[in-house]
């Protein structure tokens, strides 16, 4: 972040200096929650959590080079102590739910004030452009694609994983420095007003709304309410004369009318071609093709440029829409279409457990999309599974599915509908993971459609069942084990189900093919991720 003296940080956050903190000491390093990651010049944020309390690691952070600690109480070392904030009635945010005494809320509020101060100064003094992205599905993948595109124009900061809630968002803002040209801010919500709050921390100049789906209907009550919440992003944009740009999905009937809610200039994108959606799109795709791993190629059409061919390295047909949104951001930011197409074609997913496709040396392909799940992303995942398996004669398609959380009274119907989707894409096997009415409904409906179903209580049994299926050849398949390409496995559920561990176990001990042979990247996004945010 920008260098600031402790006295300035105390003034911005409304805190007081304690523990011998020197007012003139300068923080010029990163803000961190993990004391092990603190580097000299950094600021340690003592965040109380469910399992550990950051206040207990204050001394370790100072020993690692932190200038001070942002805390909710005196910690015996140089600190900026902020007031606790009691949970407001009806606050269902990720933070408030697990914060009984208001310590975490107080610390995060202080960090948010600091992030707001830094963001406004970077915009005013260094020309930082902030891009906000929201939607019920695809936010993280689109954020990664936007970052890949904008990096061609200058230093770009984007959150790792899904740092998109009231904790991860200000943390990401504070990764920006005077040299940062673009910040790509993924914005989620568990209720109306949440995105509006995030937009006050980092005021976006460009806003992208992807879609309105069924995720978190149990909390929002209706898709109309979800649209109200997502539209807060375009409401926060500056007027067209001040450079504001709203990028809307013409294919989504809840998104396309959001032009009425913004003073920014509006452009549309469509994965359905020039006539796609309710409004004529400026950015659209034609000639869409999928390879045998569901990686899409398409022709990108954009205003003022010749059509460009894009060959995505990320997986799933739904990525065409995400890529169009990223292309619109890049071109509206001044990049030419050829550069954008090249960047999109070179982009690889950087956020863990999202359409992460790896093929073992024995030919088994594992699609790990276990970070989160809602009805829309489940349909996309099942489609990818079915398409990939259909390109391999005789291959079996195995869906390892767990519960989709926070769907409210629509949960049973939504899980039953997945049984129809599995049959539609001719998925051969379902391993239903977990003991709940929703998972039972999924299993019953899949079985009714003739799918081979095994129900298991947890991760260990799920991995064992999949390996058992993989190890037994289909009836009448001599030489089956020698095939160059074999079965395909999809692993998907809400993050709380922990099904990513099934994918990990299926890959453990198996050499991988091609690019997948790279060592898996360590990912600590769980702490700031948005299992409960849409």
- pLDDT value at position 94? 59
Task: Choose one of 292, 314, 346: the last residue of a domain.
Answer: 346
β pairing state of 79-81 and 16-18:
antiparallel
- Cα distance between residue 181 and residue 40, in whole Å: 24
Residue 148's domain comprises: 127-346
- Cα distance between residue 23 and residue 6, in whole Å: 5
Task: Choose one of 281, 311, 346: the last residue of a domain.
Answer: 346
Asked, for residue 283, whether it belongs to a domain, the answer is: yes
Q: What Rg do the C-alpha atoms of the chain give, in angstroms?
A: 24
- CATH number at 16 reads 3.40.1390.10
- Cα distance between residue 306 and residue 327, in whole Å: 14
Judge if 99 and 148 occupy the same domain: no
Judge if 341 and 205 occupy the same domain: yes
Judge if 379 and 482 occupy the same domain: yes
Summarize the annotated binding site as residue ranges.
135-141
- pLDDT value at position 162? 62
Q: How far does the chain reach from its first CA to its final CA, in angstroms?
A: 28
Judge if 92 and 161 occupy the same domain: no
| Dihedral in degrees, nearest 10, Cα atoms 452, 457, 463, 469 | -20
Instruction: Render 474-500 in DSSP notation, one character per residue.
Output: PTT-TTGGG-SS--EEEEE--GGG-TH
Residue position matching structure tokens 């926060």: 236
- pLDDT value at position 285? 97
Judge if 369 and 298 occupy the same domain: no
For the chain, what percent of residues have pLDDT higher than 90? Answer: 62
Considering only CA atoms, which of 130, 116, 167, 122 is closest in space to residue 12?
A: 116
Judge if 342 and 366 occupy the same domain: no
- Taking all residues of the chain, what is their mean pLDDT, rounded to a whole number? 88
Q: How many domains does the structure of the chain reveal?
A: 3
Summarize the annotated binding site for ATP as residue ranges.
135-141
- CATH number at 281 reads 3.40.1190.10
Q: Is 100 exposed, middle or buried (0-12, 13-18, 19+ CB in 10 A)?
A: exposed
3-state secondary structure of 123: helix
3-state secondary structure of 200: helix
What are the pLDDT digits (tens) for 420-433?
999 998 999 999 99
Judge if 67 and 193 occupy the same domain: no
Alpha carbon 296 to its chain centroid, in Å, reads: 20
What are the pLDDT digits (tens) for 473-491?
766 555 555 544 589 999 9
β pairing state of 283-290 and 265-270:
parallel
pLDDT band with cut points at 50, 70 and 90 for residue 534? low
Judge if 212 and 319 occupy the same domain: yes
Asked, for residue 97, whether it belongs to a domain, the answer is: yes
**How large is the average pLDDT for residues 30-41?**
90
Judge if 158 and 248 occupy the same domain: yes
């Amino acid at each position: 972040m920008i260098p600031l003296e402790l006295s300035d940080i105390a003034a911005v956050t409304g805190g007081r200096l304690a523990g011998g903190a020197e007012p003139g000491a300068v923080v010029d390093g990163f803000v961190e929650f993990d004391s092990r990651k603190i580097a000299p010049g950094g600021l340690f944020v003592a965040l109380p959590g469910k399992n550990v309390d950051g206040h207990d690691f204050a001394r370790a952070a100072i020993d690692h080079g932190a200038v001070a600690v942002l805390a909710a109480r005196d910690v015996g070392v140089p600190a900026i102590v902020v007031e606790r904030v009691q949970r407001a009635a009806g606050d269902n945010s990720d933070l408030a739910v697990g914060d009984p005494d208001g310590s975490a809320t107080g610390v995060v509020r202080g960090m948010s004030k600091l992030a707001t101060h830094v963001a406004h100064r970077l915009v005013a003094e260094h020309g930082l452009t902030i891009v906000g992205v929201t939607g019920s599905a695809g936010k993280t993948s689109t954020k990664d694609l936007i970052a890949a595109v904008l990096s061609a124009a200058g230093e770009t900061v984007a959150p790792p994983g899904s740092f998109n809630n009231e904790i991860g968002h200000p943390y990401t803002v504070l990764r920006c420095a005077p040299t940062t040209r673009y910040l790509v801010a993924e914005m989620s919500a568990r209720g109306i007003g949440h995105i509006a709050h995030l937009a006050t921390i980092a005021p976006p100049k460009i806003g992208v709304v992807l879609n309105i789906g069924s995720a978190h209907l149990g909390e929002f009550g209706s898709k109309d309410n979800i649209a109200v919440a997502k539209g807060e992003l375009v409401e926060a944009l500056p007027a067209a004369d001040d450079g504001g740009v709203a990028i809307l999905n013409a294919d989504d009937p809840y998104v396309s009318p959001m032009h009425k809610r913004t003073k920014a200039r509006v452009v549309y994108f469509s994965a359905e071609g020039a006539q796609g959606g309710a409004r004529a799109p400026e950015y659209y795709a034609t000639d869409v093709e999928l390879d045998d791993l569901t990686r899409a190629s398409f022709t990108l059409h954009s205003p003022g440029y010749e059509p460009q061919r894009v060959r995505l390295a990320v997986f799933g047909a739904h990525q065409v829409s995400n890529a169009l949104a990223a292309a619109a951001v890049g071109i509206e930011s001044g990049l030419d279409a050829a550069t954008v197409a090249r960047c999109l074609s070179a982009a690889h997913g950087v956020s863990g457990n999202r359409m992460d496709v790896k093929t073992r040396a024995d030919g088994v392909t594992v699609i790990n999309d276990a970070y989160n799940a809602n009805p829309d992303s489940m349909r996309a995942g099942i489609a990818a599974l079915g398409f990939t398996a259909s390109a391999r004669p005789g291959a079996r398609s195995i869906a390892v599915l767990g519960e989709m959380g926070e769907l409210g009274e629509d949960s049973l119907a939504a899980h039953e509908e997945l049984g129809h989707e599995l049959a539609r894409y001719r998925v051969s096997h379902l391993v239903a993971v977990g003991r709940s009415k929703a998972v039972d409904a999924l299993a019953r409906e899949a079985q009714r459609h003739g799918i081979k179903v095994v129900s298991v209580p947890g991760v260990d049994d799920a991995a064992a069942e999949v390996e058992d299926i993989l190890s037994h050849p289909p009836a009448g398949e001599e030489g089956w084990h020698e095939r160059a390409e074999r079965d395909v496995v999809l692993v998907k559920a809400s993050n709380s189900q922990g099904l990513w561990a099934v994918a990990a176990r299926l890959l453990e001990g198996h050499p991988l093919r091609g690019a997948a042979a790279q060592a898996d990247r360590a990912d600590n996004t769980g702490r700031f991720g948005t299992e409960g945010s849409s």
